[in-house]
Structure formats: structure tokens, C-alpha cells
Amino acid sequence: MPRAGATKNTPPPPMHPASAMDFLPPAELREVQLTRLQATVQRAYDRVALYRERMDARGVKPAEVRALADVERLPFTVKNDLRDSYPFGLFASPLEEIVRFHASSGTTGTPIVVAYTQQDVDDWTQAMVRSFASLGVHRGDIVQNAYGYGLFTGGLGFHYGAEALGAAVLPVSGSNTDRQIALLRDFGVTVICCTPSYFLHLIDRGKELGVSFADLPLRTGVFGAEPWTEEMRGRIEASSGIKAYDMYGLSEIVGPGVAVECLHQVGPHVFEDMFYPEVIDPETGAVLPENTEGELVLTTLCKRAMPMIRYRTRDVTALTSTPCACGRTLRRIARIGRRSDDMLIIRGVNVFPSQIEAALLKVEGTLPHYQIIVDREKDLDTLAVHVEVTPEVFSDTVGAMEQLRADITHAIASVTGVHVEVRLVGARTLQRSEGKAARVIDKRKL
């Protein structure tokens, strides 16, 4: 039975005590960061061979980190370092102090392993409590957690954070869509956590089952684990009546809870007292000024079992200290719409899937379900986009369909500079994903 009073319009609760750190005066925040950075670098140097060797090679000692700017003297860490040290090579704590492992699935090579001490787990939980609090989630909320439970950090990260906040958690994990919808409706769920593409799938399936999301008490979606655009946010909010927020995180750093938006939806605030962010030029490695787009680099400031020094995330963003209306002093990153890994090179032109998503969702009549297919014919790259369109458009005249197809082709070409072969397909014909969406099929790599 839906809970009384649980409506989409519940006013935000008073500030959660855990959020106090979000509002630290900048000078104090920088002091906290420096103290923690120095301790992290010392620990990494003393206990992890890879960090010691790299710092020695650069001729930099932990004691030489005297100011935050000295972080630039430290070597980078990349994903391959985690693979090469599989499974325990980057641990800075003995096994007796480790209480949890997570790992990537390893479908594309050697998996990466991350480890946590009890203190690490508690710190992570605290970051998640602050994340939920930042979105106005509170005691009395019912949180449906549709992130996968298991080796992936999503499930347990969201789970313990929501519980510690005092909300009631429904640990559904991924998949089982019809059951997810029944629970959303029957329990009067107010907050959902999943990938944005899976939420779209839930809305669609709900329609088929006669469940309108706009009529449910559900008011907040915490979406992450895949890049998504502002246009996608617009579509999600319009079709469900909820507010959709961006959560950023990655297993190598901690899991979800590295950065999260506030109620103003102007890009995630980084929990800077726990994670030190930099944006670099991915070619030269030079640190870029604020408000300049580049690759996000993160250094953990609290992690004990597996400190990460200047980890190159491959996520493309910009850092800003422009004040936010919420009053948080934490700097924000621009919403991450793309990863440098996602870049497609089509006949020598760089194209990001997010550019295509943003362009096609601006065209009326399209649905937020699409697939990008890259292939090669006679040594030339080809780019095709299959996009679902509304039933109204699909049943319309051939002329109207042709016009829409031309509009989409033009919209994408004007942003990417590349000609795409657009194919319109009926609603609910493209494969749905219950986890991260497989939006790009690059047949050149098959």
C-alpha cells in the first residue's frame, strides 16, 4: 500500500549532520585536503612498491609534498596499473585489515580488484549518506536499489549509504523488471537508484503494464554508472515526473559516492575532503585551469587499503568553483557525458556517442532509445544510427517519416560533421538493457 504523505512534492528535510563537511569554508577545506594528501602519499610510498618506484624515478619524496599544488609532481596511475598488479599488488594494508573486496567483471581482460579496510567501508558509507542527503533523501523514504549487488560496487555502495541515512532500502538488485515495477507501485517507493537507461526501460514496461510513473509517489532518481546527457535528463523527467540526479563514481576510487549533484542539478559536487580532483590535458598531462575541459584525475585522501594517487579516470569534464545556490563549498565537475575511451574515429573524425544522443533527442518524435552501429565497407568507415520513434510518427505517412529521418540526419551531421545513415524503428523494438546500456556496436572490432 502506498504510504500516506509520500508524494512527489514532499519538501526537502533540514540539513543532515553528515552534510556539514559539504559547507566547510574553502581555506579549512584546503587544509584538510593537504593533511590528508600528505598522509596518503606517505602511506602509498611506504607500502606500495609501484608508487615508491615511480616517485623515486621522478626524484620526489613524500616530505616534498608541502602544498596542494605539489600534487602535480606526483606520477599518474592508470587502469593498466591495476590490471598489472592483479590481484593484490597495490594494497597498502595487510590482508588481516581488509574486510571487503570488489572487482570488475573482467570481460575485457584481467579484472581489476579493489579492497577496503573497515575504515574505508565506513568512509564510503559516509560519502553515500552525504550523497543521498544532498538530494533531499531522508528517513521515511523508501529507496529501491536496482544496481547490481555483488562484485560491482554499485549495489552495496548505495545499499549501505541509504541504510546509514535511515531510509528503508529495497535491495532488488538488477533485472526482473516486472517485479521492480510491482514493488515501485506496491511499496510506494520514493527514491530509485539505477542506470538511466534501465530507468527508461522501467518506464516503458510500466506503460505496458498500465503503471504510470507520473502517478506514483516516486520523486527522485539517482542515476549513474554510464554517461548520460542533459537531453536524456529532460526526457526522463518529462516522462516520469521525477527529478533525475547524476551520481558519479568509479570502483578504482571507491565506487559510487565520489561526486553527486545537489537539488539544483548543476553538475556533481566532488566530496573534496575525500577525493582530490584535477583536470588534465590528456595529451600532455598538464593540469588545466578551472572551467576547461579535459580528463578527470582523482587522488584518494582517506583510502587506506588501496590509496590511489592521481588516477586517470578517462572521463572528460571540467572543474568549477563557481558558487552553487545550495551553498556547498565543494567544487563541481561538469556532468560527464563522455569518456575518452568512448571516442569513435569515423573516417578520421572524432565522434562521441553523447554528441549523437544529444542531437537526436532534440528532434521531436524521437524516443530515448537508440543504437549506434559502426562498420567498415570497402575500407571506409560507416556510421548508422537506429532510433525508436513515437507510435504516432511511425504510423504516419511516408513523407512525414522521411522528413523526420532527414531532420535527425541533419541534426547529427551539424554537431559531428559526419554523415550518418539514420534508420527509424518502431517503439520498443531495440534491445533493452538491465544494466549498462550497449548503445554502440562497433563491428570493426568484431
The residues that touch Zn ion, with contacts defined as CB under 5 A, are 262, 264, 324, 326, 328
Q: How far is the CB of 272 from Zn ion (least distance, A)?
A: 13
Residues 6+ apart with CB under 8 A from 366: 360, 387, 388, 389, 390, 404, 408
Which C-beta is closer to Zn ion: that of 204 or that of 246? 246
Q: How far is the CB of 328 from Zn ion (least distance, A)?
A: 5
Q: How far is the CB of 324 from Zn ion (least distance, A)?
A: 3
Q: How far is the CB of 260 from Zn ion (least distance, A)?
A: 10
> Do 357 and 52 touch, CB atoms closer than 8 A?
no
Q: Work out whether strand 311-317 and strand 294-300 pair parallel, antiparallel, or are unpaired.
A: antiparallel
Which C-beta is closer to Zn ion: that of 258 or that of 360? 258
The DSSP symbol for 113 reads: E
Grid cell of 220 as nine digits:
527522485
Which C-beta is closer to Zn ion: that of 256 or that of 435? 256
What does R_g of the chain's alpha carbons equal in angstroms? 23
Which C-beta is closer to Zn ion: that of 159 or that of 328? 328
- Tell me how far the alpha carbon of residue 138 is from its chain's centroid: 22
Which C-beta is closer to Zn ion: that of 314 or that of 331? 331
Which C-beta is closer to Zn ion: that of 32 or that of 326? 326
CA distance 97 to 91: 11
Among 386, 387, 389, residue whose Cα is nearest residue 364: 389
The DSSP symbol for 76 reads: P
Among 22, 68, 79, 21, residue whose Cα is nearest residue 41: 68
Beta bridge partners of 277: 298
Q: How far is the CB of 325 from Zn ion (least distance, A)?
A: 6
Q: How far is the CB of 101 from Zn ion (least distance, A)?
A: 33
Q: CA separation (Å) from 103 to 32, 106, 248, 268?
A: 30, 8, 18, 25
Q: How far is the CB of 323 from Zn ion (least distance, A)?
A: 9
In what side-by-side order are the strands of the sheet with 311-317?
Answer: 275-280, 294-300, 311-317, 338-339
CA distance 162 to 124: 12
Which C-beta is closer to Zn ion: that of 38 or that of 320? 320
Q: CA separation (Å) from 424 to 21, 388, 430, 442?
A: 49, 6, 11, 19
Q: How many CA atoms lie within 13 A of 6 on its CB side?
A: 25
Which C-beta is closer to Zn ion: that of 127 or that of 216? 127
Q: How far is the CB of 168 from Zn ion (least distance, A)?
A: 26
